[in-house]
Structure 1
Amino acid sequence: MTCPLARGDGLGERIVGSAVFFAAGIGLILRVRHVLLRELRQARAVAGAAQSVLLRPLPPRIDGLALAAGQLSADRGASVGGDLYDVVATDHGVRVVMGDVRGHGLAALATAAAVLGSFREAAHDEAELARVLRRLERGHARHVRQRSRDEHPSAGGGRPQHPLAEEFVTVLLLEIRRDGAVHALNCGHPWPYLLRPEAERPAVPVRGGDPLPPLGVLPLPDRLVPVRCGRLLPGEGLLLHTDGVEDARDAHGRFFPLPSVVADVVRHRTVAPAAVLHGVYDRFVRHVAGPLGDDAALLVLRNDRSRVPQQAGEPLARPAHTVP
């Protein structure tokens, strides 16, 4: 307002003054945009670093099992999601967890961290798989209580993104023993697929019965009995996934045909975890061809142990999807 040109009465002076103000405004907008983009890049870098710590890269082999895992986030431009997974070798066998926190993005990161932190401790400490699941339930409950305190008006918390009554997580726990026996506890999560490349049906859903409710919906029952899912023979594999994979739709509203895609990927070839992972994700991305509605995680493992001891009264070639 102090510019002499702005106070001039002539048309030329007004045009020049307007041009000056317009250029200054454009410069200010570009500067603000640059600052916001820089802060956004920094926030994404921090979120990506947090996600890499939470979902640490799995080694290619753990105790005779070959592994590969990955995740696609529903948050556009972000690598952070609400899916969780881990594999650890313990004195009680290789233990695997895969879960799906309600929602996605940064809001789900703390819940996933609470569940994964409980699993990484309990998987080594507890001899029984049922006690591992109870530790996960207690860890999730502690996290929800802490969130409730943090979001209370007296703590100055903001409006929660999700009601605490809806703060739940699906969990699938697997225990793969040295003889290939697979035991499972399932809280509202999709069952995995058994991969057998030489079989007539190379991808067979594991039949483990009706799952328990997700953690946070109802308390676990007093008696927890892991489901025996048969045995995983050398060369066979398992594909674990979250419901964001099966529930993804294309432009015409058709669901992603995960069973047929997995069968086609592993047919007439060995179950190479990285190749299976990339093959499924390649078909998945082409099917969706747009923003994801939910996070999509996959974990593939293969039994590379040279031999599976035969158990008394049990045939060696027993299908791994058979449940007594």
Structure 2
Amino acid sequence: MFGIRRPLRRALSLGLPTAWGATAVTYKMTCPLAQQDGLGARLVTSAVFFVVGTGLIQHVRQTLLRELRQARRVAGAAQSVLLRPPPPRVEGLKVAAAQLSADRGASIGGDLYEVVATEHGVRVVMGDVRGHGLPALGTVAALLGSFREAVHDEPELDGVLRRLERALARHLRERHSEEHPASGRPPDTPVAEEFVTVLLLEIDAEGGVRALNCGHPWPYLLRGTEAGPLARSEPLPPLGPFPLPPELPATPCGHLGRGESLVLYTDGAEDVRDTRGRFFPLAETLAKAVHDHPVSPEQILRTVFGALLRHTAGSPTDDAALLVLRNERAHSATSHDAPAGDDLPMTRHDHDVRTT
């Protein structure tokens, strides 16, 4: 059936413009009215050619729209395979994730996230590739493929991050060679302006959290009715422009107690402005979401995206992705059991400083 439809569609795409053109030529060559020079004859001839031209334009427009819809379906299918929804529960952690596109017609973005249970603990990645479209999708594919393999092979987070760095460098070299085949050899710095922000988290069986951060926003911890950043240390530079340092000690981030949640996000969920230039108050929105009673990760996503759309009057200027992890393990350290030195900072992120 599909083998018959495709040639038929191609025949129609070629036949209709030919028919419109043949109609115009036949009218001009055979119709006596078209040979006259009177005003009435000219008006009729102009009307005929206007109809023919309009028909051709409409046909071309419909063809282009059909091809665009097909390309978007293919791109959306490819991205759904790469950026598949995380499982609803991973080793006692309830998980939910979603994206919000700045362009309603866009199917391809540069956000990436994944949650994987390993023998080393639950490992999480959240990242943001510079740019959009097919190049960004290729970078997302390279990084996620490397992450999904490395998290099982590497006993320490620094090994996972170095694998991601090598995968990114290899992908950019290959892409540069494809885009510039006349260059002859892969350059040392293939695409200097390309970079990726990456956050790696590891949550052990007792709820202990460790992290490596390359230029990405720190997650928010939801504890009780408060929302504060998971850590305040300065992150490393994004992957791409600069090599990783020789030593990569993971940052201890305390414990994720039972009933507490982590909210990972890309900067489009916090740096977006309203019509008055004010940044979106993500921390305040998260605190309000859990003010009255504990909520599920799905409810947190709905609350944040609803508030973000209201903040931007329904027109966000940047893509945003959120990933929520809620600890629902039966036996895990609570916030009161965590050592005092590991207490997570709960001071709310100061958004007012950036308000204009």
TM-score (norm: length of structure 1): 0.91
* CA deviation map 1:94-144 (0-9, x unaligned): 000000111123331111111111100001111111100000000001011
Query: Is 2:348 the partner of 1:321?
Result: no
Distance across 1 between alignment mates of 2:320 and 2:333: 36
Cross-structure match for 1:160: none
Alignment counterpart, residue 223 of structure 1, candidates 243, 247, 267: 247
Distance 1:10 1:220, change over 3 A: same
| Contact 2:309–2:316 (CA under 8 A) maintained in structure 1 | no
Cross-structure match for 1:121: 149
**Deviation, structure 1 residue 320:** 5.1
Cross-structure match for 1:171: 198
Larger Rg: 2
Cross-structure match for 1:214: 238
Cross-structure match for 1:262: 286
Equivalences for 1:78-117 in 2 at 5 Å?
78-117=106-145
Cross-structure match for 1:20: 48
Distance across 2 between alignment mates of 1:322 and 1:304: 21
| Contact 1:72–1:79 (CA under 8 A) maintained in structure 2 | no
Equivalences for 1:268-279 in 2 at 5 Å?
268-279=292-303
Distance across 2 between alignment mates of 1:292 and 1:244: 8
SS in 2 for 1:249: coil
| Contact 1:84–1:112 (CA under 8 A) maintained in structure 2 | yes
**Deviation, structure 1 residue 290:** 4.8
Cross-structure match for 1:284: 308
Distance 1:213 1:127, change over 3 A: same
**Deviation, structure 1 residue 82:** 0.6
Query: Is 2:72 the partner of 1:49?
Result: no
Cross-structure match for 1:159: none
* CA deviation map 1:47-105 (0-9, x unaligned): 11111011101121111000110111234411321110000000110000000111123
Question: Which residue identity lines up with residue 191 of structure 1 in the other structure?
Answer: W
Equivalences for 1:183-262 in 2 at 5 Å?
183-196=210-223, 198-199=224-225, 202-262=226-286
Q: Which runs of 4+ in 1 moved over 4 A?
A: 316-320
* CA deviation map 1:145-195 (0-9, x unaligned): 111211225279xxxxxx811110000000000000000000000000001
Distance 1:316 1:227, change over 3 A: closer
**Deviation, structure 1 residue 10:** 2.5
Distance 1:3 1:32, change over 3 A: farther
Distance 1:20 1:117, change over 3 A: same
SS in 1 for 2:113: strand
* CA deviation map 1:35-58 (0-9, x unaligned): 011011001101111110111011
Alignment counterpart, residue 131 of structure 1, candidates 159, 168, 189: 159
Alignment counterpart, residue 2 of structure 1, candidates 29, 34, 43: 29
Cross-structure match for 2:62: 34
The gaps in structure 1 that reach 5 residues or longer are 157-162
SS in 2 for 1:238: strand
Cross-structure match for 1:70: 98
**Greater fraction of residues in helix:** 2
Question: How many equivalent pairs are there?
Answer: 311
Distance 1:121 1:86, change over 3 A: same
Question: Aligned-residue CA RMSD in angstroms?
Answer: 2.0
| Contact 2:255–2:333 (CA under 8 A) maintained in structure 1 | no
* CA deviation map 1:206-227 (0-9, x unaligned): 1241101100021001111000
Question: Which residue identity lines up with residue 25 of structure 1 in the other structure?
Answer: G
The gaps in structure 2 that reach 5 residues or longer are 1-27, 185-189, 347-356
SS in 2 for 1:220: coil
SS in 2 for 1:166: coil
TM-score (norm: length of structure 2): 0.83
